[in-house]
Structure 1
Amino acid sequence: MADDDEYPPTVEAMEWLYVTSSSPGKKFVHYSAAQDAPWIWYETSDASKVPAKGGHGTDMFKPHPELPGIIVDWFVTTLIKTPGHAPADALASAAILNQLWTSQGVARVKQQLMEARQRDPQVQLWPEVNVDIIGEDHVREGESEKKAGQVGEARMQIDTAIEIFKLNLLAYPDSADAHYNLADAYLKNGQKDLARQYAEKALAMIDSHKAPLSSWSDTEQRRAEIRSGVQDTLKELNAAH
């Protein structure tokens, strides 16, 4: 989509679609209006594949004739070659996600997941990225409360984030991203041993390449970002000794 889209709500809608999509191969692409604008991808494994030359909507196809092939390849790969187990749908899981904002919501959702897994061990009740976002919201709120001197409120927010990240890890145990999120939250909560445990696990998973980084993203750029975050967490832990 174009950064200069004349309808601002369109930008918000595209961002919402990106967040709610559960495809691990999704990409959010920005096309700047400037002819010689720098390449700006949210994430990509090959930044040189499509040089940014501006344009939006179907206008993109003229300056970027390679885009139709990329789109077709994505559909073939996603819908034909690797149908696999149906991923969790963000809209269908809205009722479950909303519970995470309520008292005792995490415990109720955990119970629902365990009951669903008894019927189908592979079932997913929510997209990993959506619960990731909810947890990060609590982390940011906790950081804001801490800066404002509201220590008790800050601790409650981080504690809630930890429980949410633990829930996400229960659903997606092969996600290095989920391990890192939990490690970072533990570090912010002063629980250094647990932070180190999950950070080291995340780094080992990234290095092994035995599984995708997460259920929603496995690009080299995203891997580099998470690796850097994990290494920063470990550096902070080592410096504290």
Structure 2
Amino acid sequence: MKKLFFISGLILACISTRAQVATLVKSYNAPVLADNTGGEGYKYWQYDNGQVIIYNTDHTLYKKVAINGAPKNISGYPYISTNVFNTDSKVEFMFSILGTGGNTGYIYNEDGQELQRFENMLVYEVKNIDNKATLIISKYNGGGTDIYHLQGKYTGLKPEAKEQGQTGIYPNPVDNAATITYTLPDGVHTGTLSIYAVNGVLVKQMTVTDQFNDVLIQRGDMAPGSYYYQVHAPGIQPLKQSFIVR
């Protein structure tokens, strides 16, 4: 019995002296992303019930921006920047709203003013091409691609690039649509996104390219339940990423 007490005490001592490597500094009640806005460094932001909420890096509130007529949820990851869309000092952001004939993209500033909209979108991306901030919009239902030059300068809008082969999905759980992010290896131009039911049955499959880093998926006829997806391409080990349709 003494030996048992000694072993138990030793285990408890080891647990109590285990060092923590991560310190919680803030908890939000909704998904929050960090983006580099350019002129003002990083900001945290979230979309909640028709408004974009922007926080400073010390988690104090920077600004709430109401989007008139916006639904509860938006599709895709918005871009947020002070330097890309124009040259003033205000924060601008681009997001998309799901529609029956593709998405509608919007660019707003921090005053809630709509600067421009784009109809019939599928996915969009901002890149630095020949030192010009360039907006690339792939159109819905095989409608081609539109390329725009923006007024400002590209400074890297999204969070730092993930390692090759890593992916993510937002929102999760999925109601109507979700955006899956991915990164193809250098020199690989196309891959395959496969979505499976939890029992391994293939549900959806589509081609992804290195022209974009994310793709919009529609819920369609996917019944409520658990699913997973994989991105297949030369040079990467497909990882199972789980999500829920509700």
Per the shorter chain, which TM-score range? under 0.3
Larger helix fraction of residues: 1
The TM-score with structure 1 as length reference comes to 0.26
Question: Which structure ranks higher in relative contact order (CA pairs < 8 Å, sequence separation ≥ 6)?
Answer: 1
The TM-score with structure 2 as length reference comes to 0.25
Larger strand fraction of residues: 2
